Structure 1
């Protein structure tokens, strides 16, 4: 199959493109900077550019759409232009070019209002209830994508939950940076039960969705490792893998959520580019349970994770060149 992968310069997009190449597909990557995927044709461009998108989709039979603005802060208009209008633009051009199948890579946050999630499936995306501009615009984009599904233009959505692995700048490097500078508190003692997704598993699930479009088109599925752990334990494992002291300072979750909402607004109002010390979304992620029932996902995709959480932490230790970190990461405290 001729497959276009958007956003392949990111951790997950790059791994998806590499997996498709290994499977023998003719892969083209499309993003603002080089993807670095051997065996793929690399196109530079943005989903905000109609001409670039139109050129990128030509000849494609399938598309995996990962390109998005992902950040804790930023102007609402920027999130909307990339995440909503970029998706609308891609869908329009893809349908006109005769593309048959699209996997839209979404996020569980599109259906999360900030309340604890324990064993749910893929609830409907709801922009009105989603917290933060990223989640809201991804919810709008997912609704657009699934509404475009038709017999000749099949669209399905995959929501990987908290993807991480070696080379990850979205979660791992943020955790390590904050831990090194003593800016990573344990909210509510780190007790919230959270599931995550090792990058290899997220990539294989997304590729499985492309092959299983008969089963998932017109709907969304949540993907995780299926191994919920207390968030404090997960953070400690990441820190040990890199030889960084684990967080120990405890802060009530309610205090962090209130402070995060205020700081987030001040950061956006001031136009500051660096990450704020806390946002409401980050506080919610660190203090509320969010884990999902994976039975339906695995049945629909005919897929199971190949890398366990402990093995992923061990690989992270190897990445950071810390033999003791790798050994410690492979054992639960």
Structure 2
């Protein structure tokens, strides 16, 4: 597959940038799509830049063999209309682009948020999804986007389709996971439920990029779905203590009750929906589902079908992030 031509959507984002560099390092010809034109210029030359949002793909003709669709609106709070436009309609634009340009395979980056629930879950497999999950608009949009692509594959509009669900990306430049945790830590201390013994699965971004590259040539091309993690679930408290200690910070934790926090989050969501502009609540039920409960994913299907094997350990990823954050103050 090396030498194939690949379009990466969302190339100017955290994951997309890593995917572009990984593909280039492995001999692929990469076309990079994204809205940040300056960032595109850092990734590829003029001929391989595809500036604009996903709607701009409606008029694009590119000689590519495959698409890795990373672009998405990813946040725990927002308007359904925005999630639908970015993640459902945007994915429809990608599917249409692939059909018109004779693209052989689409590799779609979905999300394990589709498993979110207020209960402990260990070893979640790819088929264990409640397609009626309406915990937030992001989850709803990712379920809809997967369904749209699966239907296109059934109709024959997409020759090959692989869906990847990477869990909790971490790495240098992470705009979401670690910054949100550090913000809470600085303001009030990180709330721990049950002492922080709940197991958390996260993934070094370099491992996700490698998995997406593998999915270009391996896996079930008839809409196969694959969980991706580092395969190193750890108690939340241990993860946080490790990261904060590496940063030279004294860990600050607060004991919290899951039932009380869930009720408070539901009330805050209702209040914020009623306020002008629907500001993001300080706590959401989705956020609680990720930090208050054990949730680990079974990655055996990816290991078997894709040949996936994490190369960046969790400790190495945490050390790199801590060093980068220390360097930036």
Q: Which residue of 2 aligns with 1:149?
A: 153
Deviation at 1:139, TM superposition (A): 0.8
Deviation at 1:216, TM superposition (A): 4.5
The two structures have a TM-score, normalised by structure 2, of 0.90
1:100 is aligned, of 104, 116, 120, to 104
Q: CA RMSD in A?
A: 2.1
1:282 is aligned, of 282, 287, 290, to 287
Distance 1:146 1:245, change over 3 A: farther
Structure 1 contact 160–223 (Cα < 8 Å) conserved: yes
Q: Which residue of 2 aligns with 1:197?
A: 203
The two structures have a TM-score, normalised by structure 1, of 0.89
Tell me, in whole angstroms, the C-alpha distance in 1 between the residues paired with 2:288 and 2:79. 20
Tell me, in whole angstroms, the C-alpha distance in 1 between the residues paired with 2:268 and 2:258. 15
Distance 1:271 1:290, change over 3 A: farther
1:40-63 superposed Cα distances (whole Å, 9 cap, x missing partner)? 52222112x2xx112445222100
Match of 1:139, SS state, is: helix
Tell me, in whole angstroms, the C-alpha distance in 2 between the residues paired with 1:271 and 1:231. 35
1:44 is aligned, of 45, 51, 70, to 51
1:128 is aligned, of 108, 116, 132, to 132
Aligned residues: 319
Distance 1:244 1:129, change over 3 A: same
1:312 is aligned, of 304, 311, 317, to 317
Q: Which residue of 2 aligns with 1:293?
A: 298
1:148-197 superposed Cα distances (whole Å, 9 cap, x missing partner)? 22676201100001111111011011111111112531123212111110
Q: Which residue of 2 aligns with 1:10?
A: 13
Structure 1 contact 5–30 (Cα < 8 Å) conserved: yes
Deviation at 1:273, TM superposition (A): 7.4
| 1:33 counterpart = 2:36 | yes
Equivalent runs, 1:153-302 vs 2, <5 Å? 153-182=159-188, 184-213=190-219, 215-272=220-277, 275-302=280-307
1:49-107 superposed Cα distances (whole Å, 9 cap, x missing partner)? 2xx11244522210000111111111111111111111112102211221111000001
Tell me, in whole angstroms, the C-alpha distance in 2 between the residues paired with 1:315 and 1:308. 11
Tell me, in whole angstroms, the C-alpha distance in 2 between the residues paired with 1:16 and 1:119. 26
Distance 1:16 1:313, change over 3 A: same
Please list every run of 5 or more consecutive structure 2 residues that lacks an aligned counterpart in the other structure.
Answer: none
